[in-house]
Every structure is written in C-alpha cells, then in structure tokens.
Amino acid sequence: MLLALCLAAVSSGVHKSGGKSSKESSKGPPKETSSAPHLPQHVLQAVLDQFDALAPDGKLTKSVLQAELKKALAKRHEAPFGLFDDPRHPGCPRAIAEVGAGGAANITGSDGTSGAAWAVRALVTGKEIEANFSAKGGPAALTGSWNGSAIKWADGNVWTIRSSPAPGCASAVAVSATAASVPAASVPAASVRGAPF
C-alpha cells in the first residue's frame, strides 16, 4: 500500500531523470511548488525511513518504486497481510498487519453502523492464521487458510483481499504494525496458542 501511494505521487510529479519535478529548474536549489503531491506524513516518513534500501545510490526514481511495488505485490500472496472485505460486515474495514518476527499479527476492524473499532491478536504460520476473537465476543482460536486472495475461516466466513480501505463503515480504522496497537487489557495473556507475544 505504501509503495502504491508513493508510485502515484512519483508518477504525478517526478521524472526518471534523478527525481526533479517538472516545476524544478536544473539550475540552483529546488523550488517549493504548490503542485507537489500531498502525501500523508506516515507515507513520507516510511519512504524516508526506507530510502537507503530503496535507493542505495541516492537516486529514487519511478522505476525503482515500480520494481519495489512489483516485489511487494508478489509477496502479498505469500501471507494474509493487508486489507480485507468481510461479507458478514459489508463495508466495514478489516486489516491484518505483521507485528514482528515469528508470525505475530494484529487484526483491526470496526463493526456496525456505529463503526465501533476493535483489535485482536493473531498468529500467522505460512498460509495458516489463528486469531483470538474472544475480546470482541468471538472464538478464542479461530483458524483460517490463505489462498493468495482470500482467507477462508473455519466458521465458513471468507475475507477477500482489497487494494484500498473499505468504504462503508462509520469510522476508519488505523492500521498499525506495532504490538502496542492492541491494548493489553483487551487480549488475554494466552490469547493465541503458541503466539510469540
């Protein structure tokens, strides 16, 4: 998702020739322009944090971002991380984010017209996922299988991958890849069998 946002920004104002926008002169320092893409701070920070890995030569180009996006899209089919549609809660967001080594993950979402947000923990092992939905009144160890485009849960529900946030719930859910995004009080200590957290 980050690379998709960056690619959109790059294609709207940066050339392959060293990263200068169409508004910049080749003489003197770059000039501030009001037509520069407006990206969320977290997107810009993530690109800055990964700049050395993305552009070891110091030249971040559209082709570099396209190559990274292609790798990210290929990898997305390996494990169930991303944004999802849940047919039992149409339009409400579902997101699964990796939170570290060992397959630990956070699942976040919101339900109903109130858009009440929730977060639960999960463990991803290859193409299998086990989630503890007890904090929101569901099963403590619901398992699911990832097929590259959807998670088929043991209860019969199927979440399909999306490329953009769900449009219809009353409030958006922030996706965080930090363990701190799931309040400790909301998840029992032994929340998911074998989970490394």
Check whether 112 has a pLDDT greater than 60: yes
**Residue, of 101 and 86, whose pLDDT is higher:** 86
Chain mean pLDDT for the chain: 71
Average pLDDT over residues 155-165: 89
Average pLDDT over residues 142-163: 94
Check whether 185 has a pLDDT greater than 90: no
**Residue, of 24 and 125, whose pLDDT is higher:** 125
The CATH number corresponding to 82-186 among 1.10.357, 2.40.128, 3.90.930, 3.30.450 equals 2.40.128
Cβ contact 92:166 at 8 Å: yes
> From the CB of residue 53, how many other CB atoms can be counted at a distance below 10 Å?
8
Check whether 95 has a pLDDT greater than 50: yes
Average pLDDT over residues 55-72: 80
Q: Return residue ranges of the chain for CATH 2.40.128.
A: 82-186
Confidence band, pLDDT 50/70/90 cuts, at residue 163: confident
Check whether 93 has a pLDDT greater than 60: yes
Q: Using one digit for the tens of pLDDT, what is the confidence trace for 22-55?
A: 444 445 555 544 455 666 666 777 777 777 777 7
Check whether 3 has a pLDDT greater than 60: no
pLDDT for residue 124: 94
pLDDT for residue 160: 94
Average pLDDT over residues 9-34: 44
DSSP 107-155: EEEEETTTTEEEEEEEEEETTEEEE--GGGTS-SSEEEEE-SSEEEETT
What is this structure's pTM? Answer: 0.53
Map residue 179 onto helix, strand or coil. helix
